Structure 1
Amino acid sequence: MASTLEQAQVKKGHPKGLYLLFMTEMWERFSYYGMRALLILYLTSATTNQLGGRGWTDGDAGMLYGWFTGLVYLTPILGGWLADNYIGQRRSITMGGILMMLGQFALFSEVSDMTFYLGLGLLIIGNGFFKPNISTIVGNLYEENDARRDSAFTIFYMGINAGAFLAPLVCGYLGETYGYRYGFLAAGIGMMLGQIMFNSLAQSYLGNVGKFVAKTAEEKAAPKKVLSKDETDRIAVILVLTVFVIFFWAGFEQAGSSLSLYTDRYIDRVVFGWEIPTSWFQSVNPIFIVALAPVISSLWINLASKGKNPNVTVKMALGMMLLGLGFFLMVGAVMERGGDVADASIKANIWWLVGAYFLHTLGELCLSPVGLSMVTKLAPVAYASMLMGVWFLSSFVANIMGGYIVQYVEQLGALTIFGGIGAFVIVLGFVLLAVSKKLTYMMHGRG
């Protein structure tokens, strides 16, 4: 529950720098999700496809997709450490943005296999510099125990998902209409626009926040400061929750792989006589985020003002349970078709998929922005960006797990996989509830 101090500091409004970070993140996510919406389709399309394609099997494509999206979340550990010690957060964001822009343009060039893998590599490295540092700057806009912080991260999350909503519509349309490479080109242009905006307005909107390294030269030369018991407890909480959310993201990230392939092949996408492009379904989750984030943001602030704000672990446990319920709806879609052995011409109703995305979105809003906020509250200042990178490590492991799950969908069937994921994450949600009080105690007033 919210502390007395938290209640006393409930304020209205947010620093204007939050909205610059919102827009910068929106364009970066436009770039990433535009490319991601097309990647699995591009890999599995036949080489003779007029749109371009690599003719890979589902299993091979799923593995590359999993390793790519996983490594995107591994490099933030190094990027966060370099920002904390040598580069500074704002310079890291610029470096990352430029590298990601070049990566998208390399994918567009389609010169050879080498440029394809070079493009993926630049995206992975660039994201490492960008992702942990922009999230850390959001947290640094607020003082300790400012109850607006969870709300701020929910608003920031709207920026993430505004970009993620637009990306499949624009990049997906271009890719599935004119050729996949043109979708990658649009993603690169989006990244470029975000960097122009950020570098033009950062000083006016952010002042010196994130401009300098967290550790001065004197602090780096001095003997290492021993962390206090409270600080080590808080770091332990970050690590424990990181393990739990691995399983959330492993299920959630099926949206771009197994759920996308299932949608393409087995969901009735015809509405009023028009067939919705498969990539456009990657916009369903983001549009729900944009619609629901203000509601959830207001809910946390209102509950905090009344001293009834659930602690971080309760919110995250709820998020995991909602994800599980969403997968049970996909079980309904499989059963409507008559199971995995049904004729491929039999399609499931589109509302099973939309309902699953709705529940997944509610789960994401309970878990992800709250988790970002939690890291900025619990991490010692000198390790803030690096620990944000550790938090993203959960997505590294999860996406690789997700790549293997795609292979098992082929072997075991969608009914078994979707049902298994749903049951497992719900059980984990109850486990997290069981240890909630202990973890909240270890936060020492910052939960």
Structure 2
Amino acid sequence: MYFAAEKGGLGFSQGTAASIMSIYGSLVYLTAVIGGFIADRILGSRKTVFWGGVLIMFGHIALAVPYGAPTLFLSIGLITIGTGLLKPNVSEMVGTLYSETDSRRDAGFSIFVMGINLGSLLAPAIVGTVGQNINFHLGFSIAAVGMFFGLIQYYFGGRKHLSEATLHPTDPITPEELPKVKRNILIAVLIAVVVFGGLLISGNMNVTNVVLVFSILGVVLPIGYFVMMLSSHKTTKIERSRLWAYIPLFVASVLFWCIEEQGSVVLALFAANQTQLKVALPFAQFNILPSWFQMLNPAFIILYTPFFAILWTKWGKRQPSTPAKFAAGLIIAGLSFVVMVIPILTHGTNALVSPLWLVLSWLIVEVAELLISPIGLSATTKLAPKAFQSQMMSIWFLSDACAQAINAQVVKFYTPGNEVMYFSIWGGVAVVLGILLFMLVPRIKHLMQGVN
């Protein structure tokens, strides 16, 4: 987005590009609400995942077409809705493979996350290299082709391995509920028309204000969702207690994702602008592409996952509780930003620093991710009210949506000369809140009503 047009880019300012990148990530997870509702109440999880993949494929076809900003925004719409249909439901289907008391559950989700990250490891190596060395649009077309073959594999593999229950909604809409559902959809459409119509009429329809609207939505929506589930007559007393236990975990995950998701925004900018990308080898000089640093996230996940899967399985019922894992993860995530202060203080803001600092930051934060991401997925399936199973998974993804909605506003403050304060504040807040969460562990465990 911020590459000049003559370099194949769109010529956006760096701040605008970073803000769009963050809100794009937020929308990917915001639309999980739609995916959870459609799976729970209309199509079932297996069909919803399939049609999500179809939309993602068409979104990348749009990116492969060289028609500038309009195709970028079209692709964002298609990919975000498609991922919203796919992401929460494929995770929920993993949950159906295990009973609530099966000690292999966390290990199973760890392996699931490793599978996701295997794709994430290959993507920057293929798409990033092709995009930066040949043509951005050719790189995006590779993603479309990949999704096409993924859909074929999913369709036939799902018929063989997935439960028949995944073909049906867990809480189908009744004829009596249909008028209310239609009314709520109409209200949502009217609100969107009023908000964006107002911006258009007042002459304030621009990227900055549209991003601001979605940032507000990203924070307000999960709050509304918790209120809805806590007040629903479909939620039992025990389920309500577990929801209250889930709230501090949700808040912790928001702060974690605020840090982790800046790897594709702030750390990506750091890699491109403040990192030494020419590495001298004994007989040659090797150039690193900035996009390759995005491989560090999945690479460390893949390296760490077998260790954590074995660890949780070996410890069994003796392993730390879910809130204790979250607290440790939050502290470790904060430290991943604290270490980024060191090279800036020692070399200054204008010097190019060793790429090993970025390697160290990702090495640290991915330990935190394995303490929070797969554990959060597992906890969500265990703490979910029965009537809101897929929608509860949407809530988990809303923590990432909320985080990136916040990021869309704060990444603008990552400017030359402000790096030390930026990394220090984010890292310090995460460490302090992680310590506070440790203090709340006994209370949270009590509210979880027997779920560990």
CA distance in 2, matches of 1:170, 1:105: 17
1:90 matches 2:95: no
Counterpart contact for 1:333–1:353, Cα < 8 Å = no
Superposed CA offset, 1:26-51 (max 9, x none): xxxxxxxxxxxxxxxxx1101111xx
Structure 1 counterpart of 2:205: none
Superposed CA offset, 1:124-145 (max 9, x none): 1101100110000000111121
1:284 matches 2:308: no
1:376 matches 2:376: no
Structure 2 counterpart of 1:44: 2
CA distance in 2, matches of 1:256, 1:126: 20
1:319 matches 2:329: yes
| Residues 318 and 234 of structure 1, relative CA distance in 2, 3 Å threshold | same
Counterpart contact for 1:62–1:404, Cα < 8 Å = no
Superposed CA offset, 1:290-348 (max 9, x none): 111010111011111xx42100011111111111111122111212322x3x3xxx211
Matches within 5 A, 1:282-431: 282-304=294-316, 307-338=317-348, 340=349, 342=350, 346-410=351-415, 413-431=418-436
Counterpart contact for 2:234–2:387, Cα < 8 Å = no
Counterpart contact for 1:175–1:182, Cα < 8 Å = yes
CA distance in 1, matches of 2:380, 2:309: 18
Q: TM-score, normalised by structure 2?
A: 0.84
| Residues 382 and 359 of structure 1, relative CA distance in 2, 3 Å threshold | same
Counterpart contact for 1:238–1:391, Cα < 8 Å = no
CA distance in 2, matches of 1:109, 1:56: 18
Structure 1 counterpart of 2:69: 113
Counterpart contact for 2:42–2:173, Cα < 8 Å = no
1:132 matches 2:111: no
| Residues 120 and 313 of structure 1, relative CA distance in 2, 3 Å threshold | same
Unaligned runs of 5+ residues in structure 1 are: 1-42
Residue identity in the other structure for 1:295: F
Structure 2 counterpart of 1:248: 256
Residue identity in the other structure for 2:406: M
Structure 2 counterpart of 1:123: 79
Counterpart contact for 2:10–2:68, Cα < 8 Å = no
| Residues 220 and 327 of structure 1, relative CA distance in 2, 3 Å threshold | farther
CA distance in 2, matches of 1:220, 1:418: 53
Superposed CA offset, 1:250-282 (max 9, x none): 111111111111111111122221111000000
Residue identity in the other structure for 1:354: V
| Residues 351 and 411 of structure 1, relative CA distance in 2, 3 Å threshold | closer
Residue identity in the other structure for 1:114: P
Q: TM-score, normalised by structure 1?
A: 0.85
Residue identity in the other structure for 1:47: A
Partner secondary structure for residue 72 of structure 1: helix
Matches within 5 A, 1:15-94: 43-49=1-7, 52-94=8-50
CA distance in 1, matches of 2:141, 2:442: 49
Number of equivalences: 395
Superposed CA offset, 1:399-431 (max 9, x none): 122222321011761111111111110111111
2:245 aligned residue (237, 243, 267): 237
Matches within 5 A, 1:159-238: 159-216=115-172, 226-238=234-246
| 1:219 CA displacement | 11
Moved over 4 A (4+): 216-222
Residue identity in the other structure for 1:46: A
Unaligned runs of 5+ residues in structure 2 are: 179-231
Superposed CA offset, 1:157-198 (max 9, x none): 001110111000000011001111111111111211211110
CA RMSD of aligned residues (A): 1.7
CA distance in 1, matches of 2:139, 2:128: 6
Identity %: 33
